[in-house]
Amino acid sequence: MGHRIWYKYAGSPMHSWLYIILFIILTSFVLETVLSILNIKVLSPELPEEFSDVYNSEDYAQSQEYTKATTFFSLIENGFTTTITILFLTDGGFNLIDIWARSFEFTEIVTGIVYVGTLMFLSFLISLPFSIYSTFVIENRFGFNRTTPSTFAVDILKSIFLTTVIGTPVLALLLWFFGTYGPVAWFLCWLSITIITILLQFLAPILILPLFNTFTPLEQGSLQETIRSYAEKEKFTIQGIYTMDGSKRSTKANAFFSGFGRFRKIVFYDTLLKTLNNSEILAVLAHEMGHFKLKHILKSTVAAILQTGIMFYILSFFLDNSDISTAFQMEHISIYASLVFFGFIYSPINIFISLFFNAASRRHEFEADKYALQTLNTADTLISSLKKLSQANLSNLTPHPLYVFFYYSHPPVLTRIQALTHASHEHS
């Protein structure tokens, strides 16, 4: 069926949008493929000298095998989904779903919810086998997976529930704004999404995160006393210190802050507590605290809000566009379909914007590292923690610079260690 599209569009001025969209899809696929191959090719068999005290030859070889396995699997998944997307587009799949959604004769908003929900569900079904293989084959092969089939299934059901409960009213609100308020709708959408996002930041630690993990107050002891003493010294208010049962899904270790102001909580994965000693855990905390003290969280939030506003403003020019609807073989023009189609058009803009966000994020990581160095008066414990976490998570120690430029929100760990070492010499 796919070849029929070319006859349909031959001689039509509308076909240029089809070519543009196909070009965007294929360029994105080629870019990821080229960068991934470059990243694999620069894998060095020589262990960087900085890690000789943590890695042995077997650990290092396994980290490189993990990078290769996850990269090639990602390329296979991306190739499959790209092919399915192109076939779905050129064979009129978007229109078929629209005809089916309209057959129920709901209101425009409800029809839009059915349409978008159906596309999301189809996308989920396509990605599900890859998620299963990644979790139970690749992650299992390298000793990371602790997820049971029942946990995996329950997580999916909870995610679908949250997407439905939160996403449905948000989508309905956007469709109502765009269908009612014309030229100012983009601003109302921007304002609403900003308010909802901030609200969710407050509610997530209370209502959402506990649906997936159990949070337990850190037991009394030297670690808690050390953390509270450091927080008081830095005049950093925290509501509580918690551990999270990350080990129920993976052996990978992490830590994070949740909440705002006096409601801030420190959360450590239980795997982190098993991987690092108390001094190293404090160094990780000092780094995370640096993000707050240096207002990185606030800056990132403001930048994300501005990005959302720009996106909605650009979107307002593409609603009810008959040329784009024709490119997707739509029989009817609708706001809800335009929202979906805009995602394809906005993709290259989003890639460009993400370059700035990633660059800013990498700069923030260096600054937070330096904050930890200055407040702890040593870089040794943070460097030690970075090495151990890299070994525990089988991180790629030598990624390609272009791959880092496009995809890394954190600097490569080797670069961070070298920067910390240099800053330590200056500090002393």
What are the domain boundaries of the chain?
A: 4-145+293-427, 215-275
pLDDT mean over 322-343:
91
CB 360 within 8 A of CB 294: no
Which residues are registered as beta bridge partners of 242?
A: 217, 267
Q: State both tokens at 163.
A: 């997407």
Q: How far apart are alpha carbons 150 and 43 in whole angstroms?
A: 37
CB 375 within 8 A of CB 422: no
Q: What is the pLDDT of residues 373-422, one digit of tens each?
A: 999 988 899 999 999 999 989 999 999 999 999 999 999 999 999 999 99
Report the percentage of the chain scoring pLDDT > 90.
Answer: 64
Which contiguous run of DSSP H or E holds residue 407?
A: helix 401-407
Count of CA atoms in the C-beta half-sphere (13 A) of 190: 19
Residue keyed to tokens 């290769």: 68
Give the CA distances from residue 3 to residues 9, 17, 83, 89, in Å, rounded to whole numbers and listed in that order: 11, 17, 14, 12
Q: State both tokens at 2.
A: 């796919």
Q: Is the pTM of this model over 0.95?
A: no
Which contiguous run of DSSP H or E holds residue 243?
A: strand 240-244
CB 231 within 8 A of CB 238: yes
Predicted local distance difference test score (pLDDT) of residue 13: 46
Query: Of 388 and 425, which is predicted with more confidence?
Result: 388
**Which pairing describes strands 215-217 and 240-244: parallel, antiparallel, or unpaired?**
antiparallel
Q: What is the pLDDT of residues 90-138, one digit of tens each?
A: 999 999 999 999 999 999 999 999 999 999 999 999 999 999 999 999 9
Report the percentage of the chain scoring pLDDT > 70.
Answer: 95
Exposed/middle/buried for 118, CB within 10 Å: 0-12, 13-18, 19+? middle
The total of other beta-carbon atoms located within 10 Å of residue 150's CB is 8
Q: Is pLDDT of 173 > 80?
A: yes
Predicted local distance difference test score (pLDDT) of residue 14: 52
CB 256 within 8 A of CB 327: no
* CATH superfamily for domain 215-275: Metalloproteases ("zincins"), catalytic domain (3.30.2010.10)
The total of other beta-carbon atoms located within 10 Å of residue 335's CB is 18
Q: What is the pLDDT of residues 3-47, one digit of tens each?
A: 444 444 444 545 788 899 999 999 999 999 999 999 999 998 889
Predicted local distance difference test score (pLDDT) of residue 262: 62
Predicted local distance difference test score (pLDDT) of residue 263: 67
Least confident of 24-38, 95-109, 170-184, 245-259: 245-259
CB 301 within 8 A of CB 69: no
Predicted local distance difference test score (pLDDT) of residue 10: 46
